[in-house]
Amino acid sequence: GSALYNASKMAVIGFIKAFATDFGKRGVTVNGVAPGGIKSDMFTQNAWHYIPGGTPEWPAEKIESLMASHCPLGRCAVPEDVARVVA
Q: Indicate whether 11 pLDDT > 90.
A: yes
Q: Is the pTM of this model over 0.75?
A: no
Q: What is the mean pLDDT of the chain?
A: 88
Q: What is the pLDDT of residue 1?
A: 60
The pLDDT tens digits for 28-64 are 999 998 888 788 888 878 888 878 888 888 888 888 8
The DSSP-derived string for 31-62 is -------B-SHHHHHHGGGGSTT--TTS-HHH
Distance of alpha carbon 43 from alpha carbon 75, whole angstroms:
13
Give the mean model confidence (pLDDT) for residues 9-33.
94
Distance of alpha carbon 54 from alpha carbon 48, whole angstroms:
5
Domain spans of the chain, in order of start: 1-31, 35-87
Residue 20: partners with Cβ closer than 8 Å, 6 or more residues away = 29, 30
